[in-house]
Each structure stands twice: as structure tokens, then as C-alpha cells.
């Protein structure tokens, strides 16, 4: 009985809040939401942005080596295609995670760092990697069955790969520029 009275008095004082949002009792006894809290400082955002950059930039060496194989090898063997597909699929997943990160920023953070150009480049990178994945998957399946088609697919991959690398370089540069911009905004707001 004491516990029931305690819960009832807590509710009547406004202490129980089933919705989980901050509320305050108004002058007429009704509950009203508190004023929105100040946006989070950019320091955690900077850390998250740096993580996104590092996750993408770490692919530079691997992609360069894949480019050498695609460009210089006369034939792409099925095992090479499988290994390249695996790495490009991982890169695509990282690009999609970065897209999701920047798309889900709160409006305040979105306004302050304006990542729209980076989102566009990340979308292009995703599309180009997807195209390469399709080409390499088809190349892997047609290797022995249709040699002439394999040669054509390899040539298409040779043409597409440098375009993807250019977009990759643009993405890493834009991600780094966003970090610099966020650092400048943070320094400006601390003054």
C-alpha cells in the first residue's frame, strides 16, 4: 500500500513520465514539453566524421593494387575476380555507411557542415563500384564459356576502373574537406 501511494504521489508531482521526454508542469497544471536542448557540440561529430573518413581512405592502397591487376594483367582469372569482387563489395558497404551517416545528421549539424556535395560523390562512387561488381561478376561466370565475351568485359572493367578511382579520390578529398570545415566551425563557435 505504501508503494502504491508513493507511485501515486510521484505521478501527481510530475515525476513519472511514461513517454521519456522532458516535461514541465505549466501554470494551469498541464504538462508541456521543455524547450529543445542546445545541439550537441561538434567534437563528437568531428570524431564520427574522422572515423568515416578513415574507413574510406584506408582503401587507397588496396584499390591501387586492384587497379594494377585490372589494367596490366592480360587475363583476369576467376579467383582474381572473386577476390576483387570481395574487396569492392566491402568498399561499397563502407561508402553506403558513410552516406547513411551524413544523411542522418540532425538538421543543425547538416546546416553547419553542408555535406550535400559529398553525399552526391558517395552516391556516384556507390554506382561506379556497383557497375564494376556487375562487370566482374559477369566476367567470372563467362571466363571459360565465352572467351570473346570475357575479353570485352575485361576491357569494359579496364575503362570503368579509372573512373571509379577518380571518384574515390574525390570522395576522400571531400570527406577531408568536411572535417576541416567542421573544425573551422567549431573554432569559430568557441570564440
Predicted local distance difference test score (pLDDT) of residue 22: 45
Q: Which residues contact 3 (CB under 8 A, 6 or more apart)?
A: none
Specify whether the CB–CB gap between 150 and 85 falls below 8 A. Answer: no
Tell me: pLDDT of 11 over 50: no
For the record, the C-alpha cell of 46 comes out as: 568531428
Question: Please, what is the average pLDDT of the chain?
Answer: 82
Would the CA dihedral through 90, 95, 101, 103 be positive or negative?
Answer: negative
pLDDT in tens, 134-161: 999 999 998 878 888 989 999 999 999 9
Predicted local distance difference test score (pLDDT) of residue 39: 55
> What is the C-alpha to C-alpha distance for residues 181 and 46, in angstroms, rounded to an integer?
10
For the record, the C-alpha cell of 75 comes out as: 587475363
Q: Which residues pair with 23 in a beta bridge?
A: 33
Cell 576502373 found at? 161
Tell me: pLDDT of 14 over 90: no
> Dmax over Cα atoms in the chain, in whole Å?
85
Query: Which of 54-58, 70-74, 84-88 shows the lowest mean pLDDT across its residues?
Result: 70-74
Indicate the domain borders of the chain. 39-71+125-185
Amino acid at each position: 500500500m505504501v508503494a502504491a501511494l508513493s507511485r501515486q504521489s510521484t505521478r501527481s508531482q510530475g515525476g513519472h513520465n511514461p513517454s521519456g521526454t522532458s516535461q514541465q508542469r505549466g501554470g494551469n497544471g498541464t504538462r508541456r514539453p521543455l524547450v529543445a536542448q542546445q545541439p550537441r557540440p561538434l567534437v563528437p561529430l568531428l570524431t564520427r566524421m574522422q572515423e568515416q573518413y578513415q574507413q574510406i581512405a584506408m582503401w587507397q592502397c588496396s584499390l591501387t593494387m586492384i587497379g594494377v591487376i585490372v589494367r596490366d594483367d592480360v587475363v583476369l582469372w576467376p579467383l582474381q575476380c572473386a577476390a576483387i569482387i570481395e574487396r569492392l563489395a566491402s568498399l561499397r558497404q563502407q561508402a553506403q555507411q558513410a552516406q547513411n551517416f551524413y544523411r542522418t545528421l540532425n538538421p543543425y549539424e547538416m546546416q553547419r557542415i553542408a555535406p550535400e556535395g559529398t553525399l552526391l560523390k558517395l552516391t556516384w562512387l556507390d554506382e561506379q563500384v556497383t557497375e564494376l561488381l556487375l562487370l566482374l561478376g559477369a566476367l567470372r561466370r563467362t571466363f571459360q564459356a565465352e572467351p570473346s565475351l570475357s575479353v570485352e568485359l575485361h576491357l569494359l572493367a579496364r575503362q570503368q576502373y579509372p573512373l571509379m578511382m577518380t571518384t574515390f579520390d574525390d570522395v576522400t578529398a571531400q570527406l577531408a574537406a568536411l572535417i576541416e570545415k567542421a573544425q573551422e566551425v567549431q573554432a569559430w563557435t568557441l570564440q
